[in-house]
Amino acid sequence: MTRVGVVGAGLMGTIHARLLASEVPGARLVAVADPDRAAAERLEAPATYEDGFELIAADDVDAVVVASPVFTHEPFVLACIAAGKPVLCEKPLTATPEAAWRIVEAERAGGSHLVSVGFMRRFDPGYVELKARLDAGAIGRPLLVHCAHRNPFVHAFFDSAMIITDSAVHEADILRWLLGEEISSVDVRCPRASARAREGLQDPQLILLQMASGVLADVEAFVSAGYGYDIRCEIVGEDGTLALPVDVSTGFEQRFAAAYGHELRAWIAGEAVAGAADGFAAAAVCAAGVESLRSGGEVPVRIG
């Protein structure tokens, strides 16, 4: 039985804690940490902490889920590595590629694989099917990928860069995973902003991702879409096309509910989940995207 502690009792911490408490064989939720102790207590774990580092150090915590604000990911993940405890960190792994690289290096120096990253789309049944059919040669060589990432709304703290680093970071990961190759450059183009978008928010954005093989992907990232949560992906190949089923829901919690459960079960079972290098690669793609958003034009992705 793996005794799991969750750092962060916000939305993502709550999703993970509830799943761990009931739907993950081989796991037991033993502790939750949050500076807001009352929020931690609401998740009904046997122990609560205000300080995430205390939870990570606790003797009865074997593995940790980090679901705290992004700026805290690096110190918490590094503490897990130092303690030799497996950690599943919510996406994005870090806000910058430099911070993600420090995690990659710390894990390497420790000599054992400890860091997993919560790119849960890899466990969504629709994406799993898409990849299986693509890999089986159903449409021949892929040429183009059209993606849409539409949220009904976002909170007031969301800025234009976060549309890339917090939302489209999922496409950065899933495209690398689907196509099995790196993204070499990013070009962000912007239409006029939606009247629904908060003032100053550049929304939507059209993000062009050039893959190393020459495949070109476009991502419409639109976080004030109003009508629902709508994730699309169509791959155009030489012999046909493949697409995710259209499945408009109220939010990502509902749309990817199954994926979060599959991801946690895979993590506890020791199966492949995105790792620190994937977190770094996605952060490098997002950094290029933010640079393109600010300065215009195509920006190469600096990996290594």
Interacting residue ranges for ligand ISE, rule: CB under 6 A = 151, 166-167, 170, 223, 252
Backbone angles phi and psi of 43, in degrees to 5: -85, 0
Nearest distance in Å: CB 154, ligand ISE: 6
Residue whose Cβ sits closest to ligand ISE = 167
> ω into residue 204 within 30 of 0, thus cis?
yes
Q: Which is nearer to ligand ISE, 12 or 30 (CB)?
A: 12
Nearest distance in Å: CB 158, ligand ISE: 7
Nearest distance in Å: CB 252, ligand ISE: 4
Q: Which is nearer to ligand ISE, 101 or 229 (CB)?
A: 229
Nearest distance in Å: CB 171, ligand ISE: 10
Q: How far apart are CA 160 and CA 156, in angstroms?
A: 11
Q: How far apart are CA 45 and CA 61, in angstroms?
A: 12
Q: How far apart are CA 255 and CA 120, in angstroms?
A: 11
Q: Which is nearer to ligand ISE, 163 or 235 (CB)?
A: 163
Tell me if 152 sits within 8 A of 225, measured CB to CB.
yes
Chain Cα centroid distance, residue 209: 17
Q: Which is nearer to ligand ISE, 48 or 167 (CB)?
A: 167
Backbone angles phi and psi of 33, in degrees to 5: -120, 140
Nearest distance in Å: CB 73, ligand ISE: 13
Return the ∠ at Cα 232 (arms to 230 and 238), rounded to 5°.
170
Q: How far apart are CA 266 and CA 26, in angstroms?
A: 11
Q: Which is nearer to ligand ISE, 3 or 232 (CB)?
A: 232
Coil, strand, or helix at residue 79?
Answer: helix
Q: Which is nearer to ligand ISE, 106 or 178 (CB)?
A: 178
Nearest distance in Å: CB 124, ligand ISE: 10
